[in-house]
Structure 1
Amino acid sequence: MPGTPLDRPSARDARGGVHDHSDRRGFRATRGAAIGFAIDCYDIYLPVITVAPALGFFLAQDDASPATMGLMSGLIFAATLIGRPVGAVIFGSVADTLGRRRATLIAMYGCAIGTAVLTVLPGYDHIGLASVLLLVLLRLVTGVFLGGQYTGAVPLAMESSPARKRGLYGGLITMGFPLAFCVVSALTYLVMSLGGGAAGSFYQVWGWRIPVAIGALLTFGFAVYYGRTVDESPVFREARQAVPGRKPRHPALQLLSGQGAKSLRQVFLMMTGVWIVSNATSASFPVTLRALPGISSQQGTLVMVVAELSLILAYPLTGALSQRVGRRPVLIVCGVLAATAAPLLYLAIVSYTGSSVPLLIVLTMALMLTSICCFGCTAAYLSERFPTRMRATGYGVGYSVAVIIPSFYGFYESGLSAFMTASHTTTVLYVVGGILLAVGAALGPETRNVDLGPEAHR
């Protein structure tokens, strides 16, 4: 409820911050979180965009059927998703006890090492079935570090930013999502143009390693840059100094009781809706788009990449709008649009029988803008929903654990196909996800003026 001790805003913070937050420090932390988020998304996309076409390298030729390849691709992606909530709990606790900066750096270096190891994995011809088992295990471990990477970096950025700019800065952070999609897609396309994904081809044996190696180098380089340019959150430092010698309860335990648990339930409901809608647009829809009559797979990829570019502007604009009118109304409107306009746009696209790529780009951009613009203010909102002593843990768990149920979207669509046309089952995801998003946001308080200081939310 608005006005509870956990959520009470500070008037002084609303006018510019009760703490001495400098724009420069806030921008450096935001820039670090944005680049880190982009690298995180880049790594998440590697299995489904870069490694998937080369999965035959890790399987016996007799087992490399399209069905088996699809199953293994899903398993590898699922391993990454399972690792993220684990990492959110582990590194959230590290960030809330030892520091946001330290947790972020450990997670970044761990992610870089995991991605680097992926580049030297041998194939089935060398170690047999152990090849694909190592691939799944490595993605699981890397997923743990991925879950920790943004768990510390995003709260640090929000705590270092002036209150009047938290919405904008949160939107700038989430720009990393579409940027990563476009970069990894472009790199994979360029490398595949040197040699297709057929058995024994250059791409299947060596080519896929190039985008992966680039990801590892970027992560290593950024970890060094982050460590040299980003300071620890002043709010966290003040919170530690305020309780010298006192050992507080473990952040995860605090999150599971009292007001922390109440906030987590509301955030979990809202973010479940966010992820259901996101999967409908980012995971399910592209498959349907590429299968449209008159549209080639390459054209479908082009439509998705250009449409994703629109989000680069949409996310910071949505974050800035939430700073002006409030996070709660923006999130509610996003949910309503996802449940009403997005299904209609989706049906218009899948029912299209022409071959106009520009028209499909416009429709797909509209679909994305009405379904996943909510990410533009989630970074700020989730950080504002939890007090300093459990903020990183609350952010990480609320963001990552909520992705588990929506990740089984394929099973939900398969079950719905018994009652409706298979290509229309995604509309149900939009409706259900949009409703959960709108209801979840309505059940929470307005947070844009909440004081993120150590003395707040007691």
Structure 2
Amino acid sequence: MESVRVNEFGQIAREETIDTKRKNAIKGAVFSEFIDMFDIYLPVIILAPVQSFFLPAHVSTAHQAILESLVFITTLLGRPLGALLFGRIADRVGRRAASILSVSGFGVATFLIALIPGYESIGIASYWILVILRFIDGIFLGGGYTGALPLAIEYSKKEQRGLVGGLILAGFPAAYVAINLIAMIMFALFPVGGPQSAYAQWGWRIPFMIGALMAALLALYYVHKVAESEVWVGKSAGKPQATSTSRLVSGPALRNLVQVLLMMTGFWLTQNIVGLFLPTGVLLKTLHLTALQMTTTLMLSYTVLCFSYVGAGMLGQRIGRRTMLSLVGALSATLGAFLLYLLIGATGVALPVVVLIVCGIAITVSSAWAVIVTYINERFATGVRATGFGVGYSLSVILPSFYAFYMNWLGSAMPLRYAPVALLCIGGAIACVGALIGPETKDVDL
């Protein structure tokens, strides 16, 4: 009896330790997603009013638009490279090490951006330093997905992986709301003017400093609170051949990757229509909302999205990941497209109605992302999971990034204003087909 009590006590103590590790890993992934998205949206929201600080005054409007977009595009281009680089680190060295390195890297890059002098001080070098640092930032941001998220999913209980995926992705809309609130405070404290205004000179630097500080705190959290994935330790530690990248481009892993890339191309296309085109292309240019009305509409829709992500993750756990993803793809191509069609024609409609339609589009089209993190991690074996997840998640963003060109092509065969509706149908159909050709994963053992 005595030895049984000792064994039971030892077992209980071990379970408590695993439970603590699980909670810390999940918290780390949620914070990582929040800080990653915060960093990605920094130039889009914070630098938008002061791009002239980095550029000469004589640049034409058309060239300025191209140069401004390059700041964001270079970040996207860096992500697939970072996913491949840090995915290999996460699979060979460990998820925790990859998380610490990636978070530290984009924290330093963000801090350095906050120190960049303007065009009046160092000329056009100011702009190119910004672009280069954002590209480096993108590499580390792409790496952030490959460590923290697989680590959290591997620690999660099988029956809770859907909820965990939803909680992690809720960090994305939460970050959007947070950075908009910070931007509104900065704009109120430091009114935006020309290159000599207080905001242009140093007001914009404060949010970048906040982003760098959050990254530093997250790195310290992983150092002191998060343990290495026991799944990875048990199956891959000390086995370099099991984590070779060549496994990802051959056999079952390659088939899995192709299916994930197809599905994700569809979901990135639908997400770009809703997340990037809808705010300026529809709310500002078509409906002529003021900047305040647009910001309010988007913040309300992203707040609703925080809760819908958690609900969608739980629903995906119940009905199955494959079913949920194919359903969202089909709904995006039908209901989501119909709501976007209504929104484009909603000129003169009261703002509350516009808000309701935008919230409906966001929930219909974007809810898949609550399931995507869990699903892609379940699609790959432990030895290539981080690399497969990172590459499948990030590489697929490239083709959908040219959505503006696709809309112009569609505009030659239909009214240009409704081209995004057609593109949303196409993206939803691709995502649905991509999900259907893959297996169900909710009962997979990691």
TM-score tier, shorter chain, comes to over 0.9
Partner residue of 1:252?
A: 245
Provide the TM-score with structure 1 as the length reference. 0.91
Partner residue of 1:137?
A: 132
Q: 2:301 aligns with which of 299, 304, 307?
A: 307
Structure 2: where are the runs of 5+ without partners? 1-14
Assess, with a 3 A threshold, how the Cα gap between structure 1 residues 373 and 128 changes in structure 2: closer, same or farther: same
Partner residue of 2:267?
A: 274
The answer on 1:57 being equivalent to 2:50 is no
Q: 1:157 aligns with which of 152, 155, 174?
A: 152
* CA distances 1:48-105 after superposition (whole Å, capped 9, x unpaired): 1111221100111111x44333212211111000100000000000000000000000
Cα deviation for residue 316 of structure 1 reads 1.2
Q: 1:440 aligns with which of 419, 434, 444?
A: 434
The answer on 1:327 being equivalent to 2:321 is yes
The answer on 1:415 being equivalent to 2:409 is yes
Quote the Cα distance in structure 1 between the aligned partners of 2:225 and 2:301: 33
The answer on 1:190 being equivalent to 2:161 is no
Q: 2:41 aligns with which of 19, 24, 45?
A: 45
The answer on 1:103 being equivalent to 2:98 is yes
RMSD of the TM alignment (CA)? 1.6
Q: 2:227 aligns with which of 226, 231, 248?
A: 231
Cα deviation for residue 303 of structure 1 reads 0.4
The answer on 1:363 being equivalent to 2:357 is yes
Partner residue of 1:263?
A: 256
CA contact under 8 A between 1:159 and 1:235: conserved in structure 2?
yes
Partner residue of 1:177?
A: 172
Quote the Cα distance in structure 2 between the aligned partners of 1:222 and 1:197: 34
CA contact under 8 A between 1:25 and 1:161: conserved in structure 2?
no
The answer on 1:90 being equivalent to 2:85 is yes
Q: 2:330 aligns with which of 322, 330, 336?
A: 336
Partner residue of 2:285?
A: 291
Where in structure 1 do 4 or more consecutive aligned residues deviate above 6 Å?
Answer: none
CA contact under 8 A between 1:27 and 1:169: conserved in structure 2?
no
Cα deviation for residue 222 of structure 1 reads 1.5
Partner residue of 2:7?
A: none
Assess, with a 3 A threshold, how the Cα gap between structure 1 residues 197 and 319 changes in structure 2: closer, same or farther: farther
Assess, with a 3 A threshold, how the Cα gap between structure 1 residues 293 and 172 changes in structure 2: closer, same or farther: closer
Partner residue of 1:11?
A: none
- Read off the aligned partner of 2:276 and give its amino acid letter: A
Higher RCO, Cα 8 Å, sep 6+: 1
Partner residue of 1:167?
A: 162
Q: 1:207 aligns with which of 184, 203, 207?
A: 203
CA contact under 8 A between 1:21 and 1:160: conserved in structure 2?
no
The count of residues paired between Structure 1 and Structure 2 equals 430
Cα deviation for residue 26 of structure 1 reads 2.2
Cα deviation for residue 192 of structure 1 reads 1.7
Partner residue of 1:405?
A: 399
CA contact under 8 A between 1:92 and 1:148: conserved in structure 2?
yes
Cα deviation for residue 150 of structure 1 reads 1.5
Find the residue that maps to 2:133 and give its secondary structure. helix
Provide the TM-score with structure 2 as the length reference. 0.93
Assess, with a 3 A threshold, how the Cα gap between structure 1 residues 129 and 390 changes in structure 2: closer, same or farther: same
The answer on 1:32 being equivalent to 2:25 is no
Q: Percent identity at matched positions?
A: 39
Quote the Cα distance in structure 2 between the aligned partners of 1:259 and 1:317: 32
Find the residue that maps to 2:116 and give its secondary structure. coil
Cα deviation for residue 332 of structure 1 reads 0.7
CA contact under 8 A between 2:92 and 2:240: conserved in structure 1?
no
CA contact under 8 A between 1:331 and 1:441: conserved in structure 2?
yes
Cα deviation for residue 416 of structure 1 reads 2.3
- Read off the aligned partner of 2:311 and give its amino acid letter: L
Quote the Cα distance in structure 2 between the aligned partners of 1:22 and 1:170: 19
Cα deviation for residue 380 of structure 1 reads 0.6
CA contact under 8 A between 1:170 and 1:379: conserved in structure 2?
yes
Structure 1: where are the runs of 5+ without partners? 1-18, 453-458
* CA distances 1:118-146 after superposition (whole Å, capped 9, x unpaired): 00001111111111111111100110000
Partner residue of 1:345?
A: 339
- Read off the aligned partner of 2:81 and give its amino acid letter: V
Partner residue of 1:7?
A: none
